[in-house]
Amino acid sequence: MIAVSPTDFEIYLFHEGSLYKSYELFGAHVIKQDGMVGTRFCVWAPHAREVRLVGSFNEWNGTNFHLIKVSDQGVWTIFIPENLEGHLYKYEIITKDGNVLLKSDPYAFYSELRPHTASIVYNMKGYRWKDQAWKRKKQRKRIYENPLFIYELHFGSWKKKADGSFYTYQEMADELIPYVLEHGFTHIELLPLVEHPLDRSWGYQGTGYYSATSRYGTPHDLMHFIDRCHQAGIGVILDWVPGHFCKDAHGLYMFDGAPTYEYANIQDRENYIWGTANFDLGRPEVRSFLISNALFWMEYFHVDGFRVDAVANMLYWPNSDVPYKNTYAVEFFQKLNETVFAYDPNILMIAEDSTDWPRVTAPTYDGGLGFNYKWNMGWMNDILTYMETPPEQRKYVHHKVTFSLLYAYSENFILPFSHDEVVHGKKSLLNKMPGSYEEKFAQLRLLYGYLLAHPGKKLLFMGGEFAQFDEWKDLEQLDWMLFDFDMHHNMNHYMKQLLKCYKRYSPLYELDHSPEGFEWIDVHNAEQSVFSFIRRGKKENDLLVIVCNFTNKTYHNYKVGVPLFTTYREILNSDAAEFGGWGNVNTKRVAAINEPFHGKPYHVRMTIPPFGISILRPVKKRGERKKNEEEKMHRHVIGRRAR
């Protein structure tokens, strides 16, 4: 229960850096105590000479609304004996120099629609969640051994109404959820939804870390959206930016006339590339603010994970000619991850880190940063460089494909084709592919197939699933009219089948983070740019044979070494006519020949499609299939008896 006055213990923990639910102390809270209803406001302004409360309830005149300083380190509070829910407000801060600043509440739960900037008194309680089944399922799941294919999207430009306006959180539930289910993605990842003044910052330059942006509705509307996702079996990950914030006058920057949330040293504070200010990660009150913010989104919005933005920018001090480790950031990440995993052991904490910092996904007790996933930026850069190389020259950059397997198990990786790769003149994934119109599509199908087959979890930015030709246009919706064109429609069909294949066959995900899950068959065929390898599941002989051809040549009777003396069935071929390909597929089963090849005891002869990927699965013998069916029936009967 929130008291009329902050407790000494709350204030102590906040200044110590360990008040991890500081949103219960700070901000505006309507409270009932001893039969009295009122609204308590609390703010941290350590350098202020005076703080007043102004808003729609006092005609923006703070003369008689002075906050009381209850901490020598700058905690101020005021209690108004009336329910101010729905009212606008700001803090009028008198600096040491006598300047007057009008600031939004750093802990506001709701904010005015841009371009207005006032905070709004809002009651976060009252929404009745219906995602209990999802939460139970999540507790049982072993995330490392299950499929994880994330659909990344920007809420404001995925789809827009005919008049160009945004869909609301509630309306988007009806539009987006069926689409995600139809394709088979396991999670969605939303670009930042914190309140931000400029649409084109995509939420990465925030002012209201506790305010779900009012562009699309109220906080309860966002709860409804996430609840609907969970009820449909879709996880929700938020892009989260604890490294830096925007410098608009009403926000966190120089909050009380001096560096408060940001570093005092200008070289550490200023993020010149983005025009933002870096959070002072060494300041205890800032740690309380940021770690509490993660718990806030988990508690009130039931989010399933965070993609932590710009980790590299935090691990190293900015504006330095040489990389210089920021120990404050290391301590912050470790404490952040320890805290969120204590709250929810199944949370996804994903580091967007482009450096070779070691042990990002190792536990903190073992010296790691404590994340459980890291974006594999190296793999992404290498494979896109390889794909943009003309096919006849790919033999000279063969290592761009092979290098990732040298470090694939050093961290728990997610393989990302994110928004960063299809904006600012980088071209769409389809348009990165060289060659003719048909060859572009063939190579993109191959690229997606290789993404599927490579160890690691997966992420794809919106529009990639139907091969958007233009790069992302953040002020417009996706080019949905492309579904009227056969090649884009076929690509979308291919993606759906790819995801079905991914979720159906356990070797594609069970041992993503273990060397036992991958084995090269032929890694040296640079001349033909053909790669073959095995993906294995946990069960003995549960495996897939994968062959990728990165040139436009078709090979018939191509020899590939295989581990089992059986027949193999092609379960996926990116060159199938139904996907827009030329139809070079293996329609019949291919039988293993009792002759060693590629260092394997047997081999098969098969058709290798141009710019294509072929996935083969060993066919179980009839007796083995019958035994498996009998075992399954026996387990079913025993299970029924037990119930």
pLDDT tens digit sequence for 454-489: 999 999 999 999 999 999 999 999 999 999 999 999
| 3-class state of residue 132 by DSSP | helix
83 in the Ramachandran plot: left (φ > 0), alpha (ψ -120 to 50) or beta?
A: beta
Distance CA 180, CA 642 (A): 37
Query: With pLDDT > 70 as the criterion, what percentage of the chain qualifies?
Result: 96
Using pLDDT thresholds of 50, 70 and 90, give the confidence band for residue 640: very low
Place of tokens 């959180």: 169
**Max Cα separation, the chain?**
92
Q: What is the pLDDT of residues 192-249, one digit of tens each?
A: 999 999 999 999 999 999 999 999 999 999 999 999 999 999 999 999 999 999 999 9
Mean pLDDT of 365-383: 97
* Superfamily of domain 8-120 in the CATH hierarchy: Immunoglobulins (2.60.40.10)
Mean pLDDT of 127-150: 95
Per DSSP, 66 falls in state B
Per DSSP, 355 falls in state S
What is the pLDDT at residue 639? 43
**Does this chain's domain 148-506 share its CATH topology with 517-624?**
no
| 3-class state of residue 245 by DSSP | strand
Beta-ladder partners of 544: 535
- Residues 6 or more apart in contact with residue 328 via CB below 8 angstroms: 280, 281, 282
Q: Catalytic residue numbers?
A: 309, 352
Q: Residue 629 pLDDT more than 60?
A: no
Q: How many residues make up the chain in this entry?
A: 643
Distance CA 543, CA 537 (A): 6
Amino acid at 217: G
pLDDT, greater one: 4 or 274: 274
Mean pLDDT of 582-592: 97
Mean pLDDT of 278-307: 98
What is the pLDDT at residue 634? 41
Domain 517-624: give its CATH architecture. Answer: Sandwich (2.60)
Cβ(177)–Cβ(134) below 8 Å: no
Domain 148-506: give its CATH architecture. Answer: Alpha-Beta Barrel (3.20)
Name the residue ranges covered by the structural domains of the chain: 8-120, 148-506, 517-624
Mean pLDDT in the chain? 95
Cβ(247)–Cβ(276) below 8 Å: yes
What is the pLDDT at residue 625? 52
What is the pLDDT at residue 380? 98
